[in-house]
Amino acid sequence: MSADVRIYRDRDALSREVAGAIAHRMDETLTATGYFTLSLAGGQTPRTLYRVLATQYRDTISWSRLHLYWGDERYVPQNDPRSNYRLVRESLLDHVPIPGENVHPIPTDFPEAEDAALAYEQMLREWFRSSWPRFDLVLLGMGPDGHTAPLFPGSPALAERSRWVVAARAPVDPRLRLTLTPPVLNAASLVFFLVVGSEKADVLHRVLTAASGPVPYPAAAIRPERCAVVWWVDEHAAQCVPRSGTPTQGRR
């Protein structure tokens, strides 16, 4: 399936469109099921999206039917400025009427990160009760080296085929992290990558044109079976994306 690349002027415009797409997808999903499972991205790019959801969609999203999970977490306390949970709490959770029991952060208070990974995996297995979890939507970011979540080039976690959650090492602070594994990310019903900044332009082009099979860019390993990945990118990140032919793309 070819990639679907959507290009916007800047992070604000992109975030407004992604928020609208999430709300729309929720409406569609909730007519068939009772809840919507959303796996959140770490990093700074989605902060604006979370703020848009907390303000422009505060009164329209069915918060009681939304279940929030994290695709990855830095292994730091929840109140640490580097925590992905804290970023979401400050930009979204503190401002919307989502029930506490619908919020499922990755634990970071086990002495061993591997035990925290097992605990989160167990919680997910009890919720999804299937061979692989099928999130309604997975949000991801990408770094200039093509990493996504803490799946950096060469990470052993890229080869994981049975675990749902593992501890992973990052080459940058904080070095210890937890992540959903590639088979989990690839089992999702829909995947959105959010990518902004000219420092990601070259790798974005490489990821979009990478052949299937082992590639040096972890983001290219996210190829869900059931859907196309939607790439929401700003003009700076899209500098090297071909403007015609495949992958399909559109400018907004």
User: Footprint of ligand 6PG on this chain (CB under 6 A)?
Assistant: 41-45, 72, 74, 84, 141-143, 147-150
Smaller CB distance to ligand 6PG: residue 66 or 178?
Answer: 178
Smaller CB distance to ligand 6PG: residue 29 or 76?
Answer: 76
Smaller CB distance to ligand 6PG: residue 151 or 190?
Answer: 151
Smaller CB distance to ligand 6PG: residue 29 or 106?
Answer: 106
Nearest 5 degrees, angle CA 185-CA 188-CA 189? 155
Work out how close the CB of 229 gets to ligand 6PG at its nearest, in angstroms, rounded to a whole number: 14
The per-residue DSSP string of 87-124 comes to HHHHHTGGGS---GGGEEPPP--SSSHHHHHHHHHHHH
Smaller CB distance to ligand 6PG: residue 6 or 147?
Answer: 147
Q: Residue written as tokens 């082992």?
A: 214
Residues 6+ apart with CB under 8 A from 177: 72, 73, 74, 75, 113, 149, 150, 167, 168, 169, 170
Work out how close the CB of 24 gets to ligand 6PG at its nearest, in angstroms, rounded to a whole number: 23
Pull the structure tokens for residue 45.
């790019």
Work out how close the CB of 222 gets to ligand 6PG at its nearest, in angstroms, rounded to a whole number: 11
Work out how close the CB of 167 gets to ligand 6PG at its nearest, in angstroms, rounded to a whole number: 13
CA-CA-CA-CA torsion sign (222, 136, 227, 252): negative
Work out how close the CB of 40 gets to ligand 6PG at its nearest, in angstroms, rounded to a whole number: 10
Start-to-end Cα distance in the chain = 22
